[in-house]
């Protein structure tokens, strides 16, 4: 018995030790979780520091804590455009804020509409006599769309600024698929629906080139007009028409070339930049480090703004990212998740509904599921407005058809009314390997679709008929929603993509304006006076562990050497990594399990890069690696 008693005491001791250990871990985790939350009490007199270390988005994506920790790579930072605008507008009226600093050293860009909104908020800040300063190792198109609105634009002497304009090459796989004996069966309706061309052609079709050329041309004109108005001294033509001569005129010194062309105002390292900010906002009383200045962090400042909720409630549902079936998101528009949000809000006392769309579309069934849920709100006889952000194309346009009014910006990409599907079959590859398919069929559809034996003419025809039927449904919805005939819609559809300005002219949108304009219109239609309403963003909640996960992973990844070389050679070498991501994305689109797609693959990407992207890349090495492949 004495031996059994000793064993028992050991087991009890182990149990007690484990309990104490888990309790300790629990309280340590709880402390870390609480301390990771932004603290409004940290706001002090000085500069508001906004470090845009990532992308500007419509809706933050969900961080999977387990996958993120196992990957060992910190997720790319995401900043909601409306949060940045709100902070800038609040800073204009806050006596504690003497200046605003926007650090874009690791900025990876955002959609043109979002960046224009932030730029306009920077203008309002300067009108309130608050200086706005930007700093970066490198400036590209998206950086300059913001920096053009700054009081002072600073560049590291080892950095560079490059304006490339929209455009670039796409990969075409028809030749490779032919060599591999893979039959990419394409089903589509829409002369301009070029999403399937990479799998059926070796080059861009004339129709696709005409369509994308018109779209990019319009976006480029809007970009130039915005930047030229905000920064008239910028010699944009000199920078874009003959970049080689421009750089050579400064002896190959790209930083000096940026100054000479008016892209930036001053060259200086972080210490020199910090000393300049200290002149405007005051020195940091708690730090003796060179270049330190009094500042408040963006998250803490934003947390202290609070939410004013007067009067009637205007619901806002966000449809951001690719539209997919199921519960995916936020950051991806899961049809079931968004439908549930809308249906749950039916019991709320909403005076109106605004649908905010920033999506290139996706699943046709999920798009229709969301549209029906929006219609259920409309059936309650409340006003329903739709606000388009950067992209509202294909399925992103489909969901807007149950609405009373559609708002868009001139920079918005919309339309792409068309559908497609791609199914690979491997009968030729199997035969070459000595694998043959044979059997007995009672009907033309027995055993179909057969990916190895191939498709019968019956299943082939049935699949195309399904696509044609979905396209007809799409046309009918648009015709009903926009007060047109089906023939009129077909004339501007066929998968063609439009800029917001043209879309308004041809009747696809009603009015220019952003989310605020849509909210004001909906509130007015609901009978709410100015200032007597507030927006309720359905399903919006910040994950408590988000910043904690970022802190943990960042502390791990910072042990690895950071890549700080931002020259053109490093940029060129780094493109190979992004090329691999593009190939993987295209392969998934060909081989993945997907239904009928109302998706605009040709639309310029406005979402964040893959979440595993290295957060340490700085300057052009990061910014052009990401932008160059989209």
Q: What CATH number is associated with residue 67? A: 3.90.226.10
Question: Which tokens sit at 397?
Answer: 């346009």
Helix residue ranges per DSSP H, 309-363: 335-344
In a domain, 517, yes or no: no
Q: What is the mean pLDDT of the chain?
A: 85
Q: Residue 413's pLDDT is what?
A: 96
Which of 394, 403, 416, 606 is catalytic? The answer is 394
In a domain, 465, yes or no: no
Look at residues 486, 310, 313, 495 and name the one whose alpha carbon lies nearest to residue 394: 495
In a domain, 286, yes or no: yes
In a domain, 535, yes or no: no
Of 25-34, 292-301, 425-434, 604-613, highest mean pLDDT: 292-301
394: annotated active-site residue: yes
Q: Residue 429's pLDDT is what?
A: 87
193: annotated active-site residue: yes
Q: Which residues, other chains included, contact 226 with Cβ-Cβ below 8 Å and sequence gap of 6+? A: 116, 119, 145, 148
Residues 319/399, Cβ–Cβ less than 8 Å: yes
Confidence check: pLDDT of 478 > 60: yes
pLDDT band at 38 (very low <50, low <70, confident <90, very high): low
Q: Measuring CA to CA, how many Å separate 448 from each of 200, 467, 480, 590?
A: 22, 17, 36, 19
Of 38-42, 473-477, 567-571, highest mean pLDDT: 473-477
pLDDT digits (tens, 9 = 90+) for 116-143: 999 999 999 999 999 999 999 999 999 9
**Structural domain total, the chain:** 1
Rounded percentage of the chain residues whose pLDDT exceeds 90: 58
Write phi, then psi, for 211 (nearest 5 degrees). Answer: -70, -50
Q: Residue 18's pLDDT is what?
A: 77
In a domain, 252, yes or no: yes
Q: Which residues, other chains included, contact 5 with Cβ-Cβ below 8 Å and sequence gap of 6+? A: none
pLDDT digits (tens, 9 = 90+) for 340-362: 999 999 988 899 999 999 999 99
27 against 187, higher pLDDT? 187
In a domain, 488, yes or no: no
Confidence check: pLDDT of 389 > 70: yes
Diameter of the chain by CA atoms? 94
Residues 192/493, Cβ–Cβ less than 8 Å: no
In a domain, 499, yes or no: no
Q: Which residues, other chains included, contact 457 with Cβ-Cβ below 8 Å and sequence gap of 6+? A: 444
Write out the residue range of the structural domain in which residue 239 sits.
Answer: 40-166+218-303
Collapse the DSSP code of 221 into the 3-class scheme (helix H, G, I; strand E, B; otherwise coil) and give the result: helix
pLDDT digits (tens, 9 = 90+) for 209-244: 999 999 999 999 999 999 999 999 999 999 999 999
pLDDT digits (tens, 9 = 90+) for 510-561: 999 999 999 999 999 999 988 889 999 998 865 555 555 555 555 544 433 3
């Amino acid at each position: 018995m004495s031996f059994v008693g000793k064993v028992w005491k050991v087991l009890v001791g182990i149990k007690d030790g484990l309990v104490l250990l888990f309790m300790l871990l629990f309280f340590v985790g709880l402390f870390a979780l609480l301390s990771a939350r932004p603290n409004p009490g940290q706001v002090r007199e000085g500069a508001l520091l906004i470090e845009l270390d990532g992308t500007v988005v419509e809706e933050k994506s969900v961080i999977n804590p387990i996958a993120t920790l196992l990957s060992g790579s910190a997720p790319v930072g995401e900043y909601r455009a409306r949060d940045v605008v709100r902070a800038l507008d609040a800073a204009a009226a806050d006596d504690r804020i003497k200046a605003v600093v926007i650090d874009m050293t690791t900025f990876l860009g955002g959609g043109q509409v979002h960046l224009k909104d932030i730029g306009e908020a920077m203008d309002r800040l300067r009108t309130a006599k608050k200086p706005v300063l930007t700093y970066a190792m490198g400036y590209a198109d998206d950086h300059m769309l913001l920096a053009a609105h700054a009081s002072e634009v600073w560049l590291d002497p080892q950095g560079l600024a490059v304006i490339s304009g929209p455009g670039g090459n796409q990969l075409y796989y028809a030749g490779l698929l032919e060599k591999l004996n893979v039959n990419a069966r394409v089903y589509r309706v829409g002369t301009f629906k070029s999403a399937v061309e990479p799998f059926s052609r070796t080059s861009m079709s004339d129709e696709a080139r005409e369509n994308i050329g018109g779209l990019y041309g319009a976006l480029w004109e809007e970009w130039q007009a915005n930047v030229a108005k905000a920064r008239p001294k910028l010699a944009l033509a000199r920078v874009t028409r003959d970049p080689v001569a421009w750089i050579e005129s400064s002896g190959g010194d790209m930083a000096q070339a940026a100054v000479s062309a008016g892209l930036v105002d001053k060259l200086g390292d972080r210490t020199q930049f910090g000393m300049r900010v200290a002149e405007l906002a005051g020195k940091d009383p708690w730090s003796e480090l060179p270049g330190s200045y009094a500042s408040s962090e963006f998250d803490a400042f934003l947390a202290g703004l609070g939410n004013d909720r007067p009067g009637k409630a205007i619901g806002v549902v966000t449809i951001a990212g690719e539209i997919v079936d199921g519960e995916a998101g936020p950051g991806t528009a899961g049809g079931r998740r968004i439908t549930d949000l809308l249906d749950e809000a039916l019991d709320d006392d909403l005076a109106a509904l605004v649908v905010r769309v920033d999506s290139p579309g996706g699943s046709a069934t999920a798009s229709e599921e969301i549209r029906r849920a929006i219609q259920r709100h409309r059936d309650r006889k409340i006003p329903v407005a739709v606000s388009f952000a950067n992209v509202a194309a294909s399925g992103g346009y489909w969901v807007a058809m149950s609405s009373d009014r559609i708002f868009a910006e001139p920079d918005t990409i919309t339309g792409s009314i068309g559908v497609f599907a791609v199914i690979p079959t491997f009968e030729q590859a199997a035969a070459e390997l000595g694998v043959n398919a044979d059997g007995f069929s009672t009907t033309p559809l027995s055993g179909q679709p057969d990916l190895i034996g191939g498709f019968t003419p019956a299943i082939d025809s049935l699949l195309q008929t399904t696509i044609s039927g979905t396209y007809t449904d799409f046309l009918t919805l648009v015709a009903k929603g926009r007060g047109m005939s089906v023939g009129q819609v077909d004339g501007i559809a066929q998968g063609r993509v439009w800029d917001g300005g043209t879309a308004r002219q041809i009747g696809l949108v009603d009015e220019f304006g952003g989310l605020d304009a849509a909210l004001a219109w909906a509130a007015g239609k609901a009978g709410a006076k100015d200032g007597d309403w507030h927006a309720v963003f359905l399903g919006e909640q910040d994950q408590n562990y988000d910043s904690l996960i970022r802190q943990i992973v960042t502390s791990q990844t910072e042990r690895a050497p950071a890549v700080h070389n931002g020259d053109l050679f490093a940029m060129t070498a780094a493109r190979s990594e992004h090329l691999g991501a593009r190939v993987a994305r295209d392969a998934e689109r060909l081989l993945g399990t997907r239904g009928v797609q109302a998706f605009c693959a040709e639309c310029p990407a406005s979402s964040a890069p893959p979440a595993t992207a290295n957060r340490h890349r700085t300057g052009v090495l990061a910014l052009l690696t990401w932008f160059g492949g989209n």
